[in-house]
Amino acid sequence: MTRTWFITGASSGLGKEMAIRLLARGDRVIGTSRSADALKALSERYPDRFDAVPLDLTAPEDLRRAVDLAFDRHGRIDVIVSNAGYGLFGAAEELEPAEIDRQIATNLTGSIHLIRAALPHLRRQGGGRIVQVSSEGGQIAYPSFSLYHATKWGIEGFMEALAQEVAPFGISCIIAQPGPTGTNFGANLVVAEATRAYADTPAGAVRRAIGDGSFVVRGDAARTAAAMIDAADSETPPLRLTLGSTAYESISAALRARLAALEAQRDVAFAADRTDL
């Protein structure tokens, strides 16, 4: 059965990989990008099944109009893929206020506004699926990525609550958590100016690893995109979809460490309860 997908950030990375696979199998794709030119190749190759939509996620009213228009034009949209985003790199002290605001507006509030715009349409059509592209960085943290992690941890909390809110309407949610993957993510990093004070700290070590290429990237973009599509096609998709051995190992270790720390505080936690109940 032919399905219709709405994918933000369809001009590069995992969004583009998903669009290419979906169009090749005969589905319809509404793909967004900040630049219409970036979507030209897909528009020319699939003029009847690819709808290119220029869109800036940091403009909520434009975003809502684009979503409304997409549903009006195509009728039913089966899957919303909130994929667009980028990484702001640098120790927290090194970042500029405008960079911080743009990171949050793109990765966090932009995704929230997109999903909120789609919800009335999904309810009216009797259901659908929302795929939010997070990362292993929604469960763990690397130094020098503090603001990126703030957005990914934030969107995961939003999605976990949302999934409970919209399940009665037949709407299901997937939080995709790829590890480091061979896309152009690294090339699109916004890198803050280095501060000498952090040179010999963990933040400086990560900066050097990114700069000299020693930061290992094991994830394959095509396989990651295929796994996301498979999950969205599934009748019973997982809420969280962890992708890549790096993500699996790092998230597993972080969860075990957090659980051990929690269990060690059991007595302290219970001692904070009221005593008059």
Residue-range domain boundaries for the chain: 4-244
pLDDT on residue 16 = 95
Catalytic residue IDs: 134, 148, 152
Q: What is the mean pLDDT of residues 240-254?
A: 97
Q: What is the pLDDT of residue 266?
A: 98
pLDDT of residue 95: 97
The confidence score (pLDDT) of residue 232 equals 98
pLDDT tops 90 at residue 216: no
* pLDDT at residue 180 in the model: 83
Q: Please check whether residue 104 is in contact with residue 150, taking contact to mean a CB–CB distance below 8 angstroms.
A: yes
Q: Tell me, what's the pLDDT at 199?
A: 95
Q: Does domain 4-244 have CATH number 1.10.8.60?
A: no
C-alpha span between 156 and 147 (Å, rounded): 14
| pLDDT at position 183 | 65
pLDDT at 182 over 80: no
- CA-based torsion, 253, 256, 262, 264: positive or negative: negative
The answer on pLDDT for 185 being more than 70 is no
H-assigned helices in 130-244: 146-166, 202-212, 221-233
pLDDT computed for residue 181 by the predictor: 79
Determine phi and psi for 171, rounding to 5 degrees.
-105, 125
String of b and e for 213-237 (b: at least 16 CB within 10 Å)?
A: eeeebebbbeebbebbbebbeeeeb
Q: Residue 152's pLDDT is what?
A: 98
pLDDT-derived band at 186 (thresholds 50, 70, 90) equals low
Model confidence pLDDT, tens digit, residues 35-56: 878 899 999 999 999 999 999 9
Mean of the per-residue pLDDT values for the chain?
94
Q: For the residues of 235-269, what is the DSSP string, one character each?
A: SS--SEEEESHHHHHHHHHHHHHHHHHHHHTHHHH
- For residue 103, pLDDT over 90 is answered with yes
Per-residue model confidence as pLDDT tens digits over 142-161: 999 999 999 999 999 999 99
**In terms of pLDDT, which residue wins out, 190 or 253?**
253
For residue range 19-32, list pLDDT tens digits in order. 999 999 999 999 99
pTM comes to 0.94
CA distance linking residue 212 with residue 54, whole number of Å: 35
CA–CA gap between residue 4 and residue 18 (Å, rounded):
12
CA distances from 46 to 25, 69, 237, 254 (A): 12, 20, 29, 43
pLDDT in tens, 47-100: 999 999 999 999 999 999 999 999 999 999 999 999 999 899 999 999 999 999
**pLDDT over 90 (residue 109):** yes
Q: How far apart are CA 238 and CA 235, in angstroms?
A: 10
**What's the rounded Cα separation, in Å, for the pair 63 and 113?**
7
